[in-house]
Amino acid sequence: MPLLTLTSDFGIRDYLVAAVKAQVFRYNPEISIIDISHNVSPFNLPQAAYLYRSALKNFPDLTYHIILVSLFETKPKQLLLAFHKNQYLLCADNGLLTMILEEEPEAVTGISLNENETKDTIQIVVAMAKVIHRLASGEPLQHIGTPDVSFIQKNHLRPLLGPDWIEGQILFIDNFENIIVNITREQFEEQRAGRNFRIIFKRDEVIERISDSYADVPQGEKLALFNSAGYLEIAINKGNAAGLLGLKGFSEKAGQVSGILQSQLTYQTVRVFFE
């Protein structure tokens, strides 16, 4: 049975997620759908990239992935269909694809949208559902859309590096208000080079060791660990770290000017000093 995942910034308060699934089933009645998240912050491509990248590696080969985040950042002229590491991804042409993959896809084709039609969310999903039907029926990716099309590419949100420090941005705050930072275990250890370290964040809070689990510290105490996706996490054992420590996640809403965005970034950083 074909497997498909859905991720969106729609939320779950209205009909839209159900309508999307109904359209997918209309063209692919045998498909099985798994929700990754529908609570991506609006317009937040770094957050969407983190969530999808962390989930993507867990799915079997030839899974289909529909990513409905920031669909109308620009007037949509095409959708992107990518094949990478035996996974099919469908998303808007808004830069998210390369942010998820952290590299160019092995193959990408453009799915043109009819300029004479009003392009709303359901019409975009119908176009994606038809593409999945064609793929599931055995049609080669190269025969669908325009192969090797030009598309928008953006870099994923990378930490800043110095000889004795690394500075990361808060990518995501989970349901427990644990804080996920865009520093991977590999980046941390490479920069650390065996040295002692201090993790410092808002209000001059300091952590000087990496824990294996939340239970490594007493209830109510802060800790740092690397989560199952391999990213640095700041938490409080049985507490709400984001709220108690006064930290916010990265956000990038449409219409923000660079000056406003830069001022927000300084509010959302976690620094590690090596010594």
The per-residue pLDDT for range 54-91, each reduced to its tens digit, is: 999 899 999 999 999 999 887 888 999 999 999 999 99
State how far the Cα of 275 lies from the Cα of 271, in Å rounded to an integer. 13
User: What's the mean pLDDT in 178-183?
Assistant: 95
Q: What is the mean pLDDT of residues 34-42?
A: 94
Q: Which residue has the higher pLDDT, 2 or 264?
A: 2
Which residues, in sequence order, are bridge partners of residue 163? none
| Whole-number pLDDT of residue 77 | 86
Grade residue 167 by pLDDT with cuts at 50, 70 and 90.
Answer: very high
Q: How far apart are CA 78 and CA 247, in angstroms?
A: 37
Neighbours of 138 (CB within 10 A): 6
152 pLDDT higher than 60: yes
pLDDT in tens, 223-267: 999 999 999 999 999 999 988 887 877 654 433 433 334 334 334
Residue span(s) of the chain under CATH 3.40.50.10790 come to 3-147
Model confidence band, residue 268 (pLDDT cutoffs 50, 70, 90): confident
- 160-274 carries CATH number 2.40.30.90: yes
Alpha carbons 171 and 48: distance in angstroms, whole number: 9
The whole-model pTM stands at 0.85
The DSSP secondary-structure symbol of 12 reads S
CATH numeric code, 3-147: 3.40.50.10790
In the prediction, which pLDDT does 75 show? Answer: 80
| Predicted local confidence at residue 119, as pLDDT | 77
What's the rounded Cα separation, in Å, for the pair 124 and 79? 8
Would the pLDDT of 1 be above 70? yes
Cα separation, 237 vs 218, whole angstroms: 7
Q: How many CB atoms are closer than 10 A to CB 274?
A: 17
What is the rounded CA–CA span in Å between residue 119 and residue 247?
Answer: 37
Predicted pLDDT of residue 45: 93
List pLDDT tens digits, range 10-24: 999 999 999 999 999
Q: What are the residue ranges of CATH 2.40.30.90 in the chain?
A: 160-274
Q: Which residues pair with 225 in a beta bridge?
A: 233
pLDDT of residue 43: 87
Q: Name the average pLDDT for the chain.
A: 89
**pLDDT for res 116:** 60
**204, pLDDT greater than 90:** no
